[in-house]
Structure 1
């Protein structure tokens, strides 16, 4: 089979969730000796994180805007390549596709009611674009892939998708996330301490940053250790605005917010962290939970959406709308060494259920079944 895979943004230096999902799955497909030819269609970028091989060809496509890239350039080059199938990996796809289409729909958060506008014009335009295009694409896709059974059921119910048209394929996690000696030089690039709480947030309201900061202020009031909090992917001015909003500016000396953290450094930070906080309001999967658990770091995560499904029945889950529950969970781990060890062991066992190799195998099965 000749398979085209859209992975527009995997060459950009500052990758985010969907970029890594596409990249890691493609790397595993590249390792397969299945007779398929894979054509990876990308936008030019500085991070050449994927190379051509016997079964994989990288096709760079330049276009001035995302819309033109996806709606004009992508279907045109797919037709030129004479492939059997196109897999679009990041929620959207061309409305007019010259070959059978597989769509990975990570979530439908942008079709659900929201509390706030997006923090930037680019994100706001993307929100409207997805709302407009996703319902139109779903009618034409041969198969819809999503990343958890929670999301699968949610999409089916919200968009009236027949069960045979959609399937759940779990994400994996990169094997460079594992228990290892902590390189303090890497840690000190981001925080002067080597024992801290770690929160991976962004400006998306679903990441629950304001309540997490409120929970941390409660933790500081009750803890005798008072571990500092490392916050990834947030700028100081945004953090400051939330501290003022919650009237907790007194906790600022305990906070470190270096901005974007290189993926290559994350494993070291997970290993150094006392606990990883992931109290999101809404997730379709939650790869960072697996990364932290694979490094032997206990997690505290929300009891909503797909997080309990991925984290499993033994994980420490809380109501993410209640800051005191988040704080109490941190304090329990801090004061109960037996519980802390149990959570470490549980996480290391849980991650064995997930791998990018398994993800790639299931994707290949989807392709094969469509073209039978």
Structure 2
């Protein structure tokens, strides 16, 4: 069987959630003796050494931009040319005229639940418009829909009124390089490269409103006003103008002195950044899974996250939960964790146990069984 995997953004330098999921799935499939042939379809870009072809893995670079044009008009001829028996589309959308049956990974349907053309970057807003047009059609065309949590599965089933058997939960996992970094040379190298403090709170977010940057900053402002913000806060890949705008909106411009903006950090260096953190903040308003929860746990960092699914589904008893829409709740949980070393250590231990429930090998084997089911 010839299995096609659409991973168009795999070679771009800045990889985010869905890109990392596709990369880890492909790497896990490469380690399994499947007896099948795989063709990975990508758009040419600069980071083209993240995967290498093998005896049963071919990498096909398909030119074309922007991505809706690539997906709808460039990918289908390539699928036909390479004799694909089943095509796995890994990032919510799919070509509507594929010659091969399709499995689509639908990470979430947030963009279908509410249309807001005033928040997020222009790239995010245009992407959401395309997804609103494409995803309902993709759902009808796909033989199977996979998603990444039971929480999201129920939302997809309810939204599209689908039969239970069409939507399958396939959990994400965390890369094997995510572990507590103790090598002082590596820790110091990363510290100098990104101008990091010795200790800090760590937050991953961007301009997407669901990441709750405003709520986190409001919580930090409360702690600062109370004299309880004793550590700086590291925020990679966050736009400085966006940060300044929010700080002015919440009337806390002085909080900028406590925030370290260090730019984009590649996935391979993030473990060293986690490993210096005292705690990890992830109080998102909405997620479909939350891979950073597992990343932090694997690196031995206690987590403050949202008291809602899927965060509770993924983190279980290994996180401290706050009301994401209430900055006071986030602030209280940060303060409690910073002042209770025994509880911090308990959460770290729980986290190390929790991550054992998730592995990319299990994810790959589950996906493989679905590929085989279709053909």
For the aligned pair, the TM-score class normalised by the smaller chain equals over 0.9
1:305 shift after superposition = 2.9
Residues 284-330 of structure 1, C-alpha deviations (whole Å, 9 max, x = no match): 00001100000000000011231110111342111101111111111
Question: Is residue 38 of structure 1 aligned with residue 38 of structure 2?
Answer: yes
Alignment of 1:13-162 (within 5 A): 13-48=13-48, 49-114=50-115, 117-162=118-163
1:220 shift after superposition = 2.4
1:221 shift after superposition = 3.3
> 2: distance between equivalents of 1:68 and 1:149?
32
> 2: distance between equivalents of 1:224 and 1:302?
21
Alignment of 1:144-223 (within 5 A): 144-181=145-182, 182=184, 183-223=187-227
Q: What is the SS of the residue equivalent to 1:233?
A: coil
Q: What is the SS of the residue equivalent to 2:352?
A: helix
1:24 shift after superposition = 0.5
1:250 shift after superposition = 1.7
The residue number in structure 2 matching 1:270 is 274
Q: What is the SS of the residue equivalent to 2:88?
A: strand
**CA separation of 1:16 and 1:192: change in aligned 2, threshold 3 A:** closer
Q: What is the SS of the residue equivalent to 2:346?
A: helix
TM-score (norm 1): 0.97
Alignment of 1:262-341 (within 5 A): 262-341=266-345
Alignment of 1:216-235 (within 5 A): 216-223=220-227, 226-235=230-239
Q: What is the SS of the residue equivalent to 1:256?
A: strand
1:115 shift after superposition = 5.3
Q: What is the SS of the residue equivalent to 1:188?
A: helix
> 1: distance between equivalents of 2:124 and 2:353?
37
> 1: distance between equivalents of 2:20 and 2:70?
20
Larger deviation, residues 182-191 vs 356-365: 182-191
Give 5+ residue unaligned stretches, structure 2: none
1:118 shift after superposition = 3.9
> 2: distance between equivalents of 1:272 and 1:114?
38
Q: What is the SS of the residue equivalent to 2:248?
A: helix
> 1: distance between equivalents of 2:290 and 2:312?
10
Give 5+ residue unaligned stretches, structure 1: none
8 Å contact kept, 1:174–1:356: yes
> 1: distance between equivalents of 2:228 and 2:284?
26
8 Å contact kept, 2:220–2:229: no
TM-score (norm 2): 0.96
8 Å contact kept, 1:184–1:194: no
> 2: distance between equivalents of 1:106 and 1:192?
32
1:124 shift after superposition = 1.7
Runs of 4+ in 1 over 4 A off after TM superposition: none
Aligned residues: 371
> 1: distance between equivalents of 2:37 and 2:197?
48
1:224 shift after superposition = 5.0
Which of 344, 356, 367 aligns to 1:363? It is 367
Q: What is the SS of the residue equivalent to 2:347?
A: helix
> 1: distance between equivalents of 2:324 and 2:314?
16
> 1: distance between equivalents of 2:116 and 2:195?
32
The residue number in structure 1 matching 2:3 is 3
The residue number in structure 2 matching 1:350 is 354
RMSD: 1.3
> 2: distance between equivalents of 1:229 and 1:268?
16
> 2: distance between equivalents of 1:192 and 1:130?
37
**CA separation of 1:324 and 1:191: change in aligned 2, threshold 3 A:** farther
1:117 shift after superposition = 2.4
> 1: distance between equivalents of 2:328 and 2:210?
18
> 2: distance between equivalents of 1:321 and 1:249?
21
8 Å contact kept, 1:223–1:331: no
